[in-house]
Every structure is written in C-alpha cells, then in structure tokens.
Amino acid sequence: MDLQALNAVAEAMVAPGKGILAADESTGTIKKRFDAIGVENTEENRRDYRELMFRAQGMQHVSGVILYDETIWQNAADGTPLVELIAAAGAVPGIKVDKGAKPLPGFPGETITEGLDGLGERLVKYYERGARFAKWRAVIDIADGIPTWGAVKANAHALARYAAICQAHQIVPIVEPEILMDGAHSIDRCDEVTRWVLTTVFQELFEQRVALEGMVLKPNMVISGKKAPVQASVEEVALKTVAALKATVPSAVPGIAYLSGGQTDEQATAHLDAMNKIGGFPWKMTFSYGRALQAAPQKAWSGKKENVPAAQAAFLHRARMNGLAALGQWEAGMEKVAA
C-alpha cells in the first residue's frame, strides 16, 4: 500500500470549494428518477443524462464522481470513455462497490450491506479503468428497538473490511455509515445513534488496520427525522453535527463529505454552509450529494436534447452553491438571485 498516494487522492476528493457528485444510482433507482420526469429508463438515456453532467461547466466545483458499475464501462456518444470526461474536468473517478443492503438474519427491520466476496478482483478491474476511490454504504435505521448492537457491529465490521481491501488495492475508500432520516425520531436521538455508530466504525477501522489518512468519511448530518413533530433549525443541525463528529472522528481523516439523505436541495446546502461557518475542526468538510445535486438538472433535462443547456445550467448552479457552502461562503440570497 502506497499511503502517500492514497492520501493525495483523498485530499483531492475534499479540495476546498469542491465536493463529490454521487452519480451511482442503480438501474432501479434511476428508473424512479426517470419515471418522475417521463423519461424511458434505457441504457442510452442513462448514458446521455450522465454525459451532460460530466461535460457541464458545473464540474469545476466537483472533486470526484461516484459511478455505478454500468456507467464506469460506458463511453460517451462520441466514443470517449465517461471516466476520461470526468478526469478531463479535473475530477477523480470513483465506483460504488457494495451490492446493496439486505435483511440481516435474526434482526427484524435491520439490514447488512453485502459485496465483500470477490471485491479485490473487482477493484483490480476498476483501477485499470481509472477509478481511484470506491464507496460502500451501510444503512442504519432508527425505530422502536432499533438499531441494535448486533446490526451496528455487523455493518461497522463490513465497512472496515471493505476499507482494508480497498487500500490493499490502492483505492481510497469512502466509508459511509448512513443513519436514515426517514423516521419520527428527534434530533437528540439521531445525535445519540450517530455518535454510537461512528465510534463503532472507527474502532473497527482500527482493528482492521485501515490507514485513516487514506480514506474519506461520508456520514449523515445530525438531523431530525422527516416525520418528527419538531424539526431542528439549521443552526442546531450544524452545531450538533460538528459536536458529534469532533467527539468521534479522529483528526487523521483528511475530510468529511456529507450525504444529503433526503434533504431538499437548499436544506443540504444551508446545513453544510452553517457547519463550515462554525469552523475549528481538523478535517475539511464538503458534500457528497446525489439527489440534492441532480434533482434540478434532471427536471430541466426531461430527456430532451434541446434541454441539455438548461440542465447543465441547473447543475452549475447547484454545484456552485454547494462549493460555496463547502467554504462557508453561501448565503440564502444567492439562490434567489440565480432563480
């Protein structure tokens, strides 16, 4: 393992004013997105949509792109590999390598992420294709009686094994333990579970001898559940998230790239900005957004070639807003001016 090279990639992924575009939706997930805008879910449409983003001016605010297995092997309409478009835009190509969350036997309502079998062999091929980082998502739900210690421990261990395998193959692991915001739990309950999960994850990473300098953490923000009767303010989310991560994340980690987790576009930007305005933490804090970066361009595009410039403009706006938030320089009025 060349830790210096891994660290260089990790640092590039959290470069100031830039963040990660999560374009790794499975074929089934992107079908839901396409259904919402009336676009047929064909391989060509999936390629055309992603190509319009990778060729967009908004890529100047993107440090890395997480790809799905289909996408990393695709070529643009002119035959250029999509990974080359990403690299030409100055971003690092990456790949989602987990096989999804499946029911965890013996633990009703909880899941375990699969995909460790054969991971090393897959990483060799992805590296040859140009990928320099990978992503693995563990899913932790909050409800009555869950999460349980067994599920938290199992998912943390799988994340650590994945991270160790990635580093052995010169791939930077994005470690993503996501506490879902779908429930009715309070922000205090999210805070409690987030601290528990992150503490467990870093203990497992230590035990599996993962070099923290060669990874990026992709956590949830500490936030109220969507169905909670009381929704925490932007300031409270920022304060509680920064406090939770300061208490659990070692300073050796180069950066934290937050997931949006179902927040609206502007919410995700406002929360990231508020955290960076607080400052005083040892790692860079940026974004790794999927829907929060793509909802507006998808709607603008709607599968029509003549709409590509409008979609690229929408992508540029959201990428720019989040780039400013990663520096703590966003203001709500900037959204209105652009609109």
Pick the catalytic residue from 51, 176, 178, 204.
Answer: 176
Residue with tokens 């899913």: 139
CB within 8 Å of 148: residues ≥ 6 apart: 107, 110
User: Which of 232, 160, 150, 154 is CA-nearest to residue 190?
Assistant: 232
The answer to whether residues 254 and 229 touch, using CB atoms and an 8 Å cutoff, is no
Q: Give the tokens for residue 308.
A: 């590509």
Pick the catalytic residue from 18, 218, 240, 284.
Answer: 218
Active site residue 284: no
- Alpha carbon distances (Å) from 327 to 16, 62, 222, 269, 284: 7, 14, 20, 11, 9
CA 68 – CA 278 distance, rounded (Å): 34
Active site residue 218: yes
- Alpha carbon distances (Å) from 337 to 29, 125, 331, 333: 32, 45, 11, 6
Catalytic residue numbers read 176, 218
